[in-house]
Amino acid sequence: MEQRIIKTTENYSELDAFFKESKIKSLLLVCDSAFGFLNISKYFDDFENRLGIKLTKFDDFKPNPLYESVVEGVEILHKNECDMVLAIGGGSAMDVAKCIKLYSNMDPKENYLKQEIVVNDLPFIAMPTTAGTGSEATRYAVIYYNGEKQSVTSESFIPSTVIFDASALKTLPIYQKKSTMLDALCHSIESFWSVNSTEESREYSKTAIKAILSNMDKYFANEGDGNENMLKASNTAGKAINITQTTAGHAMCYKLTSLYGIAHGHAAALCVRKLWPYMVKNTDKCIDPRGEEHLKNIFKEIADAFGEKDELSACDKFAKLVDSLELEVPVAKSEEDFDTLKSSVNPVRLKNNPVGLDSETLDMLYRQIVKMQ
Protein backbone atom coordinates (compact mmCIF):
# COMPACT_ATOMS: atom_id res chain seq x y z
CA MET A 1 0.00 0.00 0.00
CA GLU A 2 1.40 3.38 -1.01
CA GLN A 3 0.77 5.97 1.70
CA ARG A 4 -0.86 9.23 0.77
CA ILE A 5 1.20 12.18 2.04
CA ILE A 6 -0.46 15.50 2.87
CA LYS A 7 1.89 18.45 3.40
CA THR A 8 0.25 21.22 5.37
CA THR A 9 0.57 24.99 5.18
CA GLU A 10 -0.15 27.51 7.94
CA ASN A 11 -3.94 27.55 7.56
CA TYR A 12 -4.26 23.73 7.21
CA SER A 13 -6.60 24.15 4.24
CA GLU A 14 -5.29 20.83 2.90
CA LEU A 15 -6.81 19.09 5.92
CA ASP A 16 -10.18 20.76 5.41
CA ALA A 17 -10.20 19.42 1.85
CA PHE A 18 -9.18 15.95 3.06
CA PHE A 19 -11.85 15.70 5.76
CA LYS A 20 -14.58 16.98 3.42
CA GLU A 21 -13.53 14.41 0.84
CA SER A 22 -13.53 11.60 3.46
CA LYS A 23 -17.24 12.13 4.26
CA ILE A 24 -16.79 10.97 7.86
CA LYS A 25 -19.17 11.95 10.65
CA SER A 26 -17.14 11.40 13.80
CA LEU A 27 -13.35 11.60 14.33
CA LEU A 28 -11.31 10.08 17.17
CA LEU A 29 -8.20 12.18 17.75
CA VAL A 30 -5.49 10.27 19.65
CA CYS A 31 -2.84 12.70 20.88
CA ASP A 32 -0.21 13.08 23.59
CA SER A 33 0.37 15.73 26.25
CA ALA A 34 2.34 17.96 23.86
CA PHE A 35 -0.68 18.43 21.57
CA GLY A 36 -1.74 21.75 23.11
CA PHE A 37 1.63 23.31 22.25
CA LEU A 38 1.33 22.52 18.54
CA ASN A 39 0.02 24.92 15.91
CA ILE A 40 -2.36 22.25 14.66
CA SER A 41 -4.20 22.19 18.01
CA LYS A 42 -5.82 25.51 17.04
CA TYR A 43 -7.08 23.91 13.82
CA PHE A 44 -9.36 21.70 15.91
CA ASP A 45 -10.79 24.53 18.06
CA ASP A 46 -13.77 25.05 15.73
CA PHE A 47 -13.48 21.75 13.86
CA GLU A 48 -17.05 20.59 14.55
CA ASN A 49 -18.71 23.89 13.58
CA ARG A 50 -16.55 24.36 10.48
CA LEU A 51 -16.80 20.87 9.01
CA GLY A 52 -19.82 19.36 10.75
CA ILE A 53 -17.71 16.44 11.99
CA LYS A 54 -17.95 15.38 15.64
CA LEU A 55 -14.55 15.45 17.39
CA THR A 56 -13.56 13.20 20.30
CA LYS A 57 -10.12 13.64 21.82
CA PHE A 58 -8.36 10.77 23.61
CA ASP A 59 -5.12 11.46 25.45
CA ASP A 60 -5.50 9.37 28.62
CA PHE A 61 -2.30 7.37 28.28
CA LYS A 62 1.35 7.62 29.26
CA PRO A 63 4.65 6.92 27.51
CA ASN A 64 5.06 3.13 27.30
CA PRO A 65 1.24 2.93 27.05
CA LEU A 66 -0.75 0.31 28.91
CA TYR A 67 -3.11 -2.25 27.40
CA GLU A 68 -5.86 -0.80 29.62
CA SER A 69 -5.49 2.58 27.90
CA VAL A 70 -6.07 0.94 24.53
CA VAL A 71 -9.18 -0.82 25.88
CA GLU A 72 -10.48 2.56 27.09
CA GLY A 73 -9.73 4.05 23.67
CA VAL A 74 -11.73 1.34 21.89
CA GLU A 75 -14.68 1.95 24.25
CA ILE A 76 -14.56 5.70 23.54
CA LEU A 77 -14.37 5.01 19.79
CA HIS A 78 -17.58 2.95 19.88
CA LYS A 79 -19.40 5.19 22.36
CA ASN A 80 -18.90 8.19 20.05
CA GLU A 81 -19.49 6.19 16.85
CA CYS A 82 -16.15 7.35 15.44
CA ASP A 83 -15.61 6.37 11.82
CA MET A 84 -11.97 7.51 11.53
CA VAL A 85 -8.90 7.54 13.82
CA LEU A 86 -6.29 10.30 13.64
CA ALA A 87 -3.04 9.95 15.62
CA ILE A 88 -1.01 13.10 16.32
CA GLY A 89 2.14 12.70 18.36
CA GLY A 90 5.23 10.60 18.90
CA GLY A 91 5.63 6.85 19.19
CA SER A 92 3.26 6.34 22.14
CA ALA A 93 0.34 8.13 20.49
CA MET A 94 0.98 6.16 17.29
CA ASP A 95 1.08 2.84 19.18
CA VAL A 96 -2.16 3.52 21.06
CA ALA A 97 -3.96 4.64 17.90
CA LYS A 98 -2.69 1.64 15.93
CA CYS A 99 -4.02 -0.75 18.56
CA ILE A 100 -7.37 1.06 18.82
CA LYS A 101 -7.71 0.69 15.04
CA LEU A 102 -6.66 -2.99 15.18
CA TYR A 103 -8.98 -3.97 18.04
CA SER A 104 -11.98 -1.87 16.98
CA ASN A 105 -13.86 -4.84 15.51
CA MET A 106 -12.83 -7.46 18.08
CA ASP A 107 -14.72 -8.90 21.08
CA PRO A 108 -14.37 -6.48 24.04
CA LYS A 109 -15.31 -9.27 26.48
CA GLU A 110 -12.10 -11.16 25.67
CA ASN A 111 -8.44 -10.08 25.92
CA TYR A 112 -7.59 -8.43 22.61
CA LEU A 113 -4.01 -9.71 22.77
CA LYS A 114 -5.26 -13.32 22.69
CA GLN A 115 -7.71 -12.92 19.82
CA GLU A 116 -7.11 -13.64 16.17
CA ILE A 117 -6.71 -10.43 14.18
CA VAL A 118 -9.48 -9.76 11.67
CA VAL A 119 -8.63 -6.93 9.29
CA ASN A 120 -11.07 -4.00 9.39
CA ASP A 121 -11.59 -1.01 7.11
CA LEU A 122 -11.71 1.74 9.77
CA PRO A 123 -9.79 4.67 8.20
CA PHE A 124 -6.61 5.52 10.11
CA ILE A 125 -4.39 8.54 9.46
CA ALA A 126 -1.37 9.86 11.35
CA MET A 127 0.71 12.98 11.90
CA PRO A 128 4.15 12.43 13.45
CA THR A 129 5.38 15.25 15.69
CA THR A 130 9.00 14.10 15.71
CA ALA A 131 11.28 13.09 12.83
CA GLY A 132 12.61 9.86 14.27
CA THR A 133 10.51 6.82 15.04
CA GLY A 134 8.98 6.43 11.58
CA SER A 135 6.14 4.67 13.42
CA GLU A 136 3.63 6.09 10.95
CA ALA A 137 5.21 3.86 8.28
CA THR A 138 5.59 0.58 10.19
CA ARG A 139 3.56 -2.48 11.09
CA TYR A 140 4.78 -2.45 14.71
CA ALA A 141 3.34 -1.16 17.98
CA VAL A 142 4.31 -1.69 21.61
CA ILE A 143 1.98 -1.68 24.63
CA TYR A 144 2.39 -3.05 28.16
CA TYR A 145 0.21 -5.71 29.76
CA ASN A 146 0.74 -6.62 33.44
CA GLY A 147 4.11 -4.90 33.29
CA GLU A 148 5.28 -6.95 30.32
CA LYS A 149 6.12 -5.45 26.93
CA GLN A 150 3.79 -6.67 24.18
CA SER A 151 4.89 -6.32 20.57
CA VAL A 152 1.86 -6.03 18.30
CA THR A 153 2.38 -6.51 14.58
CA SER A 154 -0.05 -6.01 11.72
CA GLU A 155 0.23 -4.60 8.22
CA SER A 156 -3.41 -3.55 8.56
CA PHE A 157 -2.74 -0.70 11.00
CA ILE A 158 -0.19 1.13 8.89
CA PRO A 159 -1.88 4.53 8.33
CA SER A 160 -3.24 5.02 4.83
CA THR A 161 -2.56 8.76 4.98
CA VAL A 162 0.28 10.64 6.69
CA ILE A 163 0.25 14.36 7.46
CA PHE A 164 3.56 16.25 7.41
CA ASP A 165 3.39 19.45 9.46
CA ALA A 166 6.91 20.91 9.58
CA SER A 167 5.84 23.45 12.22
CA ALA A 168 5.41 20.60 14.74
CA LEU A 169 9.20 20.20 14.90
CA LYS A 170 9.86 23.86 15.70
CA THR A 171 8.90 23.59 19.37
CA LEU A 172 10.86 20.41 20.09
CA PRO A 173 13.68 20.70 22.65
CA ILE A 174 17.07 20.47 20.92
CA TYR A 175 17.95 17.23 22.73
CA GLN A 176 14.80 15.61 21.37
CA LYS A 177 15.57 16.88 17.87
CA LYS A 178 19.04 15.35 18.08
CA SER A 179 17.98 12.00 19.48
CA THR A 180 15.02 11.49 17.13
CA MET A 181 17.15 12.33 14.09
CA LEU A 182 19.73 9.79 15.27
CA ASP A 183 16.99 7.19 15.67
CA ALA A 184 15.98 7.66 12.02
CA LEU A 185 19.61 7.48 10.93
CA CYS A 186 20.20 4.29 12.94
CA HIS A 187 17.02 2.79 11.45
CA SER A 188 18.43 3.48 7.99
CA ILE A 189 21.86 1.99 8.75
CA GLU A 190 20.58 -1.10 10.56
CA SER A 191 17.95 -1.82 7.95
CA PHE A 192 20.65 -1.50 5.25
CA TRP A 193 22.78 -4.30 6.73
CA SER A 194 19.94 -6.46 8.12
CA VAL A 195 19.85 -10.10 7.01
CA ASN A 196 16.26 -9.34 5.92
CA SER A 197 17.24 -6.50 3.58
CA THR A 198 15.88 -6.41 0.04
CA GLU A 199 16.62 -4.19 -2.94
CA GLU A 200 13.56 -2.14 -2.01
CA SER A 201 14.53 -1.73 1.65
CA ARG A 202 18.12 -0.81 0.77
CA GLU A 203 16.86 1.86 -1.62
CA TYR A 204 14.75 3.30 1.20
CA SER A 205 17.79 3.19 3.52
CA LYS A 206 20.06 4.90 1.01
CA THR A 207 17.50 7.63 0.31
CA ALA A 208 16.92 8.25 4.02
CA ILE A 209 20.64 8.42 4.90
CA LYS A 210 21.35 10.94 2.16
CA ALA A 211 18.32 13.05 3.11
CA ILE A 212 19.22 13.08 6.82
CA LEU A 213 22.83 14.09 6.19
CA SER A 214 21.96 16.79 3.64
CA ASN A 215 19.16 18.35 5.74
CA MET A 216 20.71 18.11 9.19
CA ASP A 217 21.97 21.71 9.39
CA LYS A 218 18.67 23.23 8.21
CA TYR A 219 16.78 20.92 10.58
CA PHE A 220 18.78 22.10 13.58
CA ALA A 221 18.39 25.70 12.40
CA ASN A 222 14.59 25.09 12.45
CA GLU A 223 14.17 26.04 8.81
CA GLY A 224 10.85 24.93 7.31
CA ASP A 225 12.24 22.88 4.43
CA GLY A 226 14.83 21.26 6.72
CA ASN A 227 12.10 20.13 9.12
CA GLU A 228 9.83 18.94 6.32
CA ASN A 229 12.63 16.99 4.62
CA MET A 230 13.59 15.39 7.93
CA LEU A 231 9.99 14.24 8.44
CA LYS A 232 10.11 12.67 4.99
CA ALA A 233 13.51 11.04 5.71
CA SER A 234 12.20 9.57 8.96
CA ASN A 235 9.17 8.20 7.13
CA THR A 236 11.42 6.66 4.47
CA ALA A 237 13.61 5.07 7.16
CA GLY A 238 10.42 3.70 8.72
CA LYS A 239 9.52 2.07 5.40
CA ALA A 240 12.93 0.38 5.39
CA ILE A 241 12.52 -0.90 8.95
CA ASN A 242 8.99 -2.07 8.13
CA ILE A 243 10.57 -4.54 5.68
CA THR A 244 13.65 -5.61 7.65
CA GLN A 245 13.15 -4.88 11.37
CA THR A 246 16.01 -3.50 13.44
CA THR A 247 19.23 -5.33 14.36
CA ALA A 248 21.82 -5.43 17.15
CA GLY A 249 22.13 -1.65 17.47
CA HIS A 250 18.54 -1.38 18.67
CA ALA A 251 18.65 -4.67 20.58
CA MET A 252 21.58 -3.30 22.58
CA CYS A 253 20.15 0.17 23.18
CA TYR A 254 16.95 -0.50 25.10
CA LYS A 255 18.55 -1.17 28.49
CA LEU A 256 20.75 1.91 28.11
CA THR A 257 17.62 4.08 28.02
CA SER A 258 16.11 2.63 31.21
CA LEU A 259 19.38 2.24 33.12
CA TYR A 260 20.78 5.71 32.41
CA GLY A 261 17.70 7.76 31.53
CA ILE A 262 18.80 8.75 28.03
CA ALA A 263 16.59 9.03 24.95
CA HIS A 264 16.09 6.04 22.66
CA GLY A 265 17.78 7.56 19.58
CA HIS A 266 20.71 8.76 21.70
CA ALA A 267 21.20 5.21 23.04
CA ALA A 268 20.87 3.64 19.58
CA ALA A 269 23.51 5.97 18.14
CA LEU A 270 25.97 5.18 20.95
CA CYS A 271 25.53 1.46 20.19
CA VAL A 272 25.79 1.76 16.38
CA ARG A 273 28.87 3.99 16.81
CA LYS A 274 30.81 1.04 18.29
CA LEU A 275 28.96 -1.86 16.64
CA TRP A 276 29.45 -0.71 13.04
CA PRO A 277 33.30 -0.63 12.92
CA TYR A 278 33.41 -3.93 14.82
CA MET A 279 31.24 -5.56 12.16
CA VAL A 280 33.24 -4.06 9.28
CA LYS A 281 36.40 -5.61 10.78
CA ASN A 282 34.76 -8.97 11.48
CA THR A 283 32.89 -9.92 8.32
CA ASP A 284 34.36 -13.44 8.73
CA LYS A 285 31.72 -13.87 11.46
CA CYS A 286 28.97 -13.24 8.89
CA ILE A 287 25.70 -15.11 9.56
CA ASP A 288 23.75 -13.62 6.64
CA PRO A 289 22.80 -16.58 4.38
CA ARG A 290 23.86 -14.49 1.38
CA GLY A 291 27.48 -14.73 2.55
CA GLU A 292 30.48 -12.62 3.51
CA GLU A 293 31.00 -11.07 0.06
CA HIS A 294 27.42 -9.87 0.04
CA LEU A 295 27.95 -8.28 3.46
CA LYS A 296 31.17 -6.59 2.35
CA ASN A 297 29.33 -5.11 -0.63
CA ILE A 298 26.57 -3.88 1.68
CA PHE A 299 29.11 -2.07 3.84
CA LYS A 300 30.52 -0.47 0.68
CA GLU A 301 27.02 0.66 -0.32
CA ILE A 302 26.46 2.20 3.12
CA ALA A 303 29.80 4.01 2.84
CA ASP A 304 28.72 5.35 -0.55
CA ALA A 305 25.43 6.60 0.93
CA PHE A 306 27.53 8.46 3.52
CA GLY A 307 29.62 9.98 0.73
CA GLU A 308 32.74 8.03 1.75
CA LYS A 309 35.06 5.87 -0.35
CA ASP A 310 35.71 3.13 2.20
CA GLU A 311 33.81 1.41 4.96
CA LEU A 312 35.82 2.56 7.99
CA SER A 313 35.72 6.18 6.79
CA ALA A 314 31.93 5.95 6.86
CA CYS A 315 32.08 4.56 10.41
CA ASP A 316 34.34 7.45 11.37
CA LYS A 317 31.99 9.99 9.76
CA PHE A 318 29.09 8.61 11.78
CA ALA A 319 31.16 8.68 14.99
CA LYS A 320 32.17 12.30 14.37
CA LEU A 321 28.55 13.23 13.69
CA VAL A 322 27.48 11.70 17.02
CA ASP A 323 30.37 13.42 18.83
CA SER A 324 29.48 16.77 17.25
CA LEU A 325 26.04 16.62 18.87
CA GLU A 326 27.73 16.60 22.30
CA LEU A 327 25.53 13.93 23.80
CA GLU A 328 26.24 12.55 27.24
CA VAL A 329 28.10 9.23 27.47
CA PRO A 330 26.61 7.03 30.24
CA VAL A 331 28.78 6.11 33.21
CA ALA A 332 28.55 2.61 34.71
CA LYS A 333 27.98 2.57 38.46
CA SER A 334 29.63 -0.81 38.91
CA GLU A 335 30.66 -4.01 37.11
CA GLU A 336 27.09 -5.22 37.60
CA ASP A 337 25.94 -2.72 34.99
CA PHE A 338 27.76 -4.63 32.25
CA ASP A 339 26.17 -7.93 33.32
CA THR A 340 22.76 -6.22 33.29
CA LEU A 341 23.37 -4.73 29.84
CA LYS A 342 24.58 -7.84 28.04
CA SER A 343 21.87 -10.05 29.59
CA SER A 344 19.19 -7.59 28.40
CA VAL A 345 19.81 -8.12 24.69
CA ASN A 346 16.96 -9.81 22.86
CA PRO A 347 18.44 -12.78 20.94
CA VAL A 348 15.64 -12.55 18.33
CA ARG A 349 16.92 -9.11 17.30
CA LEU A 350 20.43 -10.54 17.04
CA LYS A 351 19.20 -13.02 14.43
CA ASN A 352 18.60 -10.04 12.14
CA ASN A 353 22.20 -8.87 12.60
CA PRO A 354 24.56 -9.97 9.79
CA VAL A 355 27.56 -10.52 12.10
CA GLY A 356 27.30 -13.01 14.96
CA LEU A 357 27.61 -11.54 18.45
CA ASP A 358 28.27 -13.70 21.51
CA SER A 359 28.10 -12.69 25.18
CA GLU A 360 31.82 -11.92 25.31
CA THR A 361 31.57 -9.59 22.30
CA LEU A 362 28.53 -7.83 23.73
CA ASP A 363 30.44 -7.27 26.96
CA MET A 364 33.41 -5.85 25.01
CA LEU A 365 31.16 -3.50 23.01
CA TYR A 366 29.29 -2.26 26.08
CA ARG A 367 32.61 -1.46 27.75
CA GLN A 368 33.37 0.79 24.76
CA ILE A 369 29.90 2.36 24.80
CA VAL A 370 29.66 3.01 28.55
CA LYS A 371 32.37 4.63 30.64
CA MET A 372 33.39 3.30 34.08
CA GLN A 373 33.25 5.61 37.09
For residues 334 and 247, membership in a common domain is answered with: yes
Binning pLDDT at 50, 70 and 90, where does residue 337 land? very high
pLDDT at 1 over 70: no
For residues 124 and 189, membership in a common domain is answered with: no
pLDDT at 100 over 90: yes
Last residue of a domain, one of 132, 150, 169: 169
Taking alpha carbons only, the member of 238, 130, 138 closest to residue 178 is: 130
Dihedral sign of CA atoms 33, 38, 42, 47 in order:
negative
Last residue of a domain, one of 169, 190, 215: 169
For residues 313 and 227, membership in a common domain is answered with: yes
- 306's CB contacts (< 8 A; 6+ apart) are 209, 213, 314, 317, 318
pLDDT (mean) for 223-234: 96
Confidence at residue 103, expressed as pLDDT on a 0 to 100 scale: 98
| pLDDT tens-digit map of 150-162 | 999 999 999 999 9
Tell me, what CATH number does 89's domain have? 3.40.50.1970
Kind of pairing between the strands at 54-58 and 124-128: unpaired
| pLDDT tens-digit map of 175-212 | 999 999 999 999 999 999 999 999 999 999 999 999 99
Compute the CA torsion angle 333, 339, 341, 346 (nearest 10 deg). Answer: -170
Taking alpha carbons only, the member of 194, 162, 360 closest to residue 289 is: 194
pLDDT at 298 over 70: yes
Task: Give the integer Cα–Cα distance in Å for 240 and 36.
Answer: 31
Tell me, what CATH number does 182's domain have? 1.20.1090.10
For residues 317 and 341, membership in a common domain is answered with: yes
Task: Give the integer Cα–Cα distance in Å for 155 and 111.
Answer: 20
Domain count, the chain: 2
For residues 235 and 219, membership in a common domain is answered with: yes
Last residue of a domain, one of 169, 184, 205: 169
Domain assignment of residue 270, given as a range: 174-372
For residues 101 and 213, membership in a common domain is answered with: no
Helix %, strand %, coil % of the chain (to 5): 55, 15, 30
Dihedral sign of CA atoms 162, 167, 172, 175 in order:
positive
